């Protein structure tokens, strides 16, 4: 019962912040090359830094035990690169499409359906063997531990994380504070801070239900699918992360309702098929790499996990490649064509 309540609670907070802050890593990475728009990228950076400081303090005080994801270089590079391509096709990252389900975006619903199916077959279906062999054959450890910047350099995690936090914040104050102006809406700093705060709250509550990790998206959806396929089997249960996802959709729904942004929006049919396909690719990539953008970039990078760094870079490169092919090149051709 505890996992239902705390999962839903954190999920509602997460969904509310995602919707009001328009938090989407697909936009964050794609908009750099497409519009030279850096607003959401700054939000992502702020969220990572705030989480990092929070995780470090919680680790120092014994509230949490770090749980960096494994480094499977082959699976991280291939899975996350493909995930990055998929999210551009789907029109949103794992968290972006999830909160937009609550807003009533039908294109996001088909993307989530694709994500769930793609993830399911890679986790438990016919791609399971391929996934396990690629993950197993490219796994690297440092001693008995999953590699992090901290155990690579031999510096205590809390010291290193807080050090990075302080250096970046000080540099930002020196270089950019005067140029800071609030955007329309919540603004990147507010959103980034609140997303980081949700991640900090999430971790100990999730760990209390024996899932020792902060936020995630994809696993939550595929476990919901598993339960729906095994309704009568009481051994298949929704875990904390699935309740988090249900809460996230509800939270985004509430936020959209309050902001009067709730509307069932249906794009052209062709677009629905494309976002479904993009979702399939995302699901495959996320499960192969051991997580989506939330698991790796938002939750793993603040733990200084090397697997998550590799996954994060691969997601960005995949997103840039797909953005160039799908949007940047056609835009240039359209402009020079006439």
For other proteins, the binding residues (CB under 8 A) are 22, 24, 26-27, 30-31, 34-37, 39, 91-92, 96, 103, 105-108, 183-185, 256, 259-263, 265-268, 271, 275, 327, 331, 334-335, 338
Q: Measured on CA atoms in the order 118, 121, 127, 128, is the torsion positive or negative?
A: positive
**Of 216 and 278, which CB lies nearer to other proteins in the complex structure?**
278
Minimum distance from residue 280 beta carbon to other proteins (Å)? 16
**Of 97 and 224, which CB lies nearer to other proteins in the complex structure?**
97
Closest by CA position to 215, among listed 310, 101, 93, 298: 298
CA distance 155 to 186: 36
Minimum distance from residue 12 beta carbon to other proteins (Å)? 19
Structure tokens, 258: 């309050």
Structure tokens, 248: 């996230």
Minimum distance from residue 256 beta carbon to other proteins (Å)? 8
**Of 7 and 283, which CB lies nearer to other proteins in the complex structure?**
283
* DSSP assignment of 34-63: HH---HHHHHHHHHHHHHHHHHHHHHHTTS
Minimum distance from residue 271 beta carbon to other proteins (Å)? 6
Minimum distance from residue 336 beta carbon to other proteins (Å)? 10
CA distance 296 to 112: 19
**Of 24 and 298, which CB lies nearer to other proteins in the complex structure?**
24
Quote the distance between the C-alpha of residue 196 and its chain's center.
12
Closest by CA position to 108, among listed 268, 292, 221, 276: 276
Query: Where are the alpha helices (H) located in 91-187, listed in sequence order?
Result: 94-103, 106-123, 128-137, 149-153, 157-176
Minimum distance from residue 30 beta carbon to other proteins (Å)? 7
- Angstrom distances, CA of residue 336 to CA of 9, 330, 332: 51, 10, 6
Residue where the block lists tokens 């120092």: 60
CA distance 108 to 255: 17
**Of 24 and 160, which CB lies nearer to other proteins in the complex structure?**
24
**Of 40 and 238, which CB lies nearer to other proteins in the complex structure?**
40
Closest by CA position to 24, among listed 109, 98, 82, 112: 98
Contact criterion met (CB below 8 Å) for 201 and 194:
no
**Of 55 and 320, which CB lies nearer to other proteins in the complex structure?**
320
Minimum distance from residue 51 beta carbon to other proteins (Å)? 23
**Of 2 and 37, which CB lies nearer to other proteins in the complex structure?**
37
**Of 3 and 18, which CB lies nearer to other proteins in the complex structure?**
18
DSSP 178: G
Minimum distance from residue 330 beta carbon to other proteins (Å)? 9
CA distance 82 to 76: 10
Minimum distance from residue 285 beta carbon to other proteins (Å)? 19
């Amino acid at each position: 019962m505890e996992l239902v309540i705390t999962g839903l609670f954190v999920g509602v907070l997460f969904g509310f912040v995602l919707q009001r802050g328009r938090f989407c890593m697909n936009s964050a990475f794609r908009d750099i090359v497409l519009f030279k728009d850096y607003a959401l990228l700054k939000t992502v950076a702020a969220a990572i830094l705030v989480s990092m400081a929070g995780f470090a303090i919680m680790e120092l005080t014994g509230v949490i035990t770090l749980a960096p994801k494994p480094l499977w270089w082959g699976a991280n590079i291939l899975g996350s690169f493909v995930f990055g391509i998929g999210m551009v096709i789907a029109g949103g990252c794992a968290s972006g499409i999830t909160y937009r389900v609550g807003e009533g975006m039908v294109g996001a619903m088909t993307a989530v359906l694709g994500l769930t199916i793609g993830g399911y077959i890679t986790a438990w279906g016919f791609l399971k063997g391929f996934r396990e062999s690629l993950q197993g054959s490219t796994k690297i450890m440092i001693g008995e531990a999953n590699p992090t910047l901290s155990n690579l350099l031999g510096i205590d995690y809390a010291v290193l994380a807080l050090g990075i936090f302080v250096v970046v914040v000080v540099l930002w104050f020196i270089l950019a504070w005067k140029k800071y102006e609030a955007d329309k809406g919540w603004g990147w700093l507010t959103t980034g801070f609140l997303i980081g705060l949700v991640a900090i709250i999430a971790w100990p509550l999730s760990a209390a239900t024996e899932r020792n990790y902060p936020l995630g998206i994809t696993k939550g959806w595929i476990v919901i699918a598993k339960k729906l396929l095994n309704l009568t089997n009481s051994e298949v249960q929704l875990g904390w992360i699935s309740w988090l996802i249900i809460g996230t959709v509800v939270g985004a729904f509430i936020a959209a309702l309050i902001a009067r942004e709730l509307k069932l929006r249906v794009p052209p049919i062709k677009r629905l098929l494309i976002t479904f396909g993009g979702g399939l690719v995302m699901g495959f990539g996320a499960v192969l790499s051991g997580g989506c953008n939330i698991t790796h970039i938002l939750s793993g990078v603040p733990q200084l996990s090397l697997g998550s760094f590799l996954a994060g870079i691969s997601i960005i490169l995949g997103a840039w490649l797909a953005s160039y092919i799908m949007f940047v090149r056609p835009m240039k051709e359209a402009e020079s064509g006439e």
